[in-house]
Amino acid sequence: MASGSDYRWRTFVQDFPAGLDTETDPRKLRDGFTPDGYGMTPIYPGRLVKGSAPSGTTAVKSTSTISGDVWTWYFRRLWRATGTTLLYNSREYRDVVLYQGLGKLSFTEDTNDIITFLPYDSNMYVGKSTGGYVVPGAMSMAGNYQHGDIIEALKLSTATHAIEMDGVVYVSNAHGLMALVETGVVPVTSKVLDTTALADFQGIPLTVDRQRRWVIGTDKFCYAADLKRLFRFGTSGFRYTTRTLVATNSAPFLVGGVLLVYENVGTDQPDGELKYQIRIDREWEDEVTVQVPYDEGSRNIIHLPFETRERGREFTLRLTDLSPHLQVSRIDIKTALSFDTLTGVE
């Protein structure tokens, strides 16, 4: 049996902001991910902060209008979609239509019109409501283009539901957020299959923040490509849920306290507020509201009111509200167990 001296504060979670992962067992989830979270802004590295979806920009396109038709300038030539056909002009001609060879590429596997086309790396993505296509080597000067088979996972309903960033085409459709890379299709939202959460990623107009390398789904989601983390905003409010601690031998254990390390942003801010719940084994306990005093320090500590409780085999904490000027950098728990004996902690 552990002695009283074995009880001490140990870091529980500190890899913020936490990306959404509803599919991994919360007892096996790594720090840096949450099984149930929304309203957490990715703007502040290393911090858990309440916020709304960031804003992005649409792609910059250069176009030319010839005889009333609008053409788009990619790979030093003009392109235009009409019905099931993608037309392409000779290279370097912007003011007159002078087709190179056939000057067209047909997508007649079905009768649906082409909705959009986007360059990525040296290739072209062509999207329809039934699927997407890849035109390899679209940068080629020869102009004798072909395309591969239809890829159903890359379908889209509206042109704004696809965007390119850093040589990758992202498409938001009924499957969630999909990425088209050189090696094939990557289901970005494969770790978010909960129907309520996935809805925030389905069929959403996309913009990007190229400096931060974010793909942004209007006010619904943000995908941080460098971190490979998803952040959800479609549900109003804020929630952050920790991974679940479980003793590897399934023996009951006691968490004797919880503290948060935080910083206030801005000057002359009022005292903040947070709300939280804990779960011992299966049932969430009543929500508790805590007043957080304003302090200009960067490593302030707030202890959550936490009475001695019965031992349990699982422990989970979730924050259900957080004042926007509070930035949490770490959550510690007090326990007698070494984290080496807890499957929820690396």
Residue 81 CB-density burial (10 A; 0-12 exposed, 13-18 middle, 19+ buried)? buried
What is the DSSP secondary structure assignment for residue 153, as one 8-state letter? G
| 335 contacts 247 by C-beta, under 8 angstroms | no
As for how many domains the chain has, the answer is 2
Summarize the confidence of residues 138-149 as an average pLDDT. 93
Is residue 198 domain-shared with residue 296, that is, in the same domain? no
Is residue 36 domain-shared with residue 147, that is, in the same domain? no
| 262 contacts 329 by C-beta, under 8 angstroms | yes
Stated pTM of the model: 0.92
In a domain, 200, yes or no: yes
Q: Is the pLDDT of residue 232 over 60?
A: yes
Is residue 73 domain-shared with residue 221, that is, in the same domain? yes
**Angstrom distances, CA of residue 216 to CA of 153, 230, 262:** 19, 10, 27
Is residue 9 domain-shared with residue 69, that is, in the same domain? no
Of 190, 225, 260, which one is at a domain's C-terminal end? Answer: 225
Is residue 318 domain-shared with residue 221, that is, in the same domain? no
- Max Cα separation, the chain? 86
The type of residue at 221 is: F
In a domain, 109, yes or no: yes
In a domain, 179, yes or no: yes
Is residue 219 domain-shared with residue 295, that is, in the same domain? no
CA 173 to CA 289: how far, in whole Å?
Answer: 39
**Angstrom distances, CA of residue 186 to CA of 21, 134, 151, 207:** 16, 14, 12, 19
Summarize the confidence of residues 117-136 as an average pLDDT. 97
- What pLDDT is stored for residue 346 in this prediction? 39
Closest CA to 217 of 207, 231, 227, 228: 207
In a domain, 233, yes or no: no
- The percentage of residues in the chain with a pLDDT greater than 70, rounded to a whole number, is 93
- What pLDDT is stored for residue 335 in this prediction? 84
Is residue 122 domain-shared with residue 35, that is, in the same domain? no
Is residue 23 domain-shared with residue 131, that is, in the same domain? no
In a domain, 270, yes or no: yes
CA 250 to CA 244: how far, in whole Å?
Answer: 13
Bridge partners of 59?
Answer: none
Q: Is the pLDDT of residue 342 over 60?
A: no
Of 225, 253, 277, which one is at a domain's C-terminal end? Answer: 225
Summarize the confidence of residues 234-250 as an average pLDDT. 90
CA 28 to CA 25: how far, in whole Å?
Answer: 5
Tokens linked to 152 = 């159903």
Strand 69-74 relative to strand 314-322, pairing: unpaired
**Cβ neighbours of residue 211 under 8 Å, at least 6 residues apart?**
none
Of 225, 253, 287, which one is at a domain's C-terminal end? Answer: 225
Q: Is the pLDDT of residue 3 over 50?
A: no
In a domain, 230, yes or no: no
Q: To which residue do tokens 């959800």 refer? A: 232
- What pLDDT is stored for residue 1 in this prediction? 41
In a domain, 346, yes or no: no
Summarize the confidence of residues 171-198 as an average pLDDT. 96
Is residue 107 domain-shared with residue 46, that is, in the same domain? no
The type of residue at 332 is: D
| Domain carrying residue 197 | 63-225
Residue 313 CB-density burial (10 A; 0-12 exposed, 13-18 middle, 19+ buried)? middle
In a domain, 56, yes or no: no
Is residue 255 domain-shared with residue 197, that is, in the same domain? no
Is residue 75 domain-shared with residue 182, that is, in the same domain? yes
Q: What's the CATH number where 45 sits?
A: 2.60.120
Is residue 76 domain-shared with residue 40, that is, in the same domain? no
> Regarding predicted confidence, which is higher, 345 or 314?
314
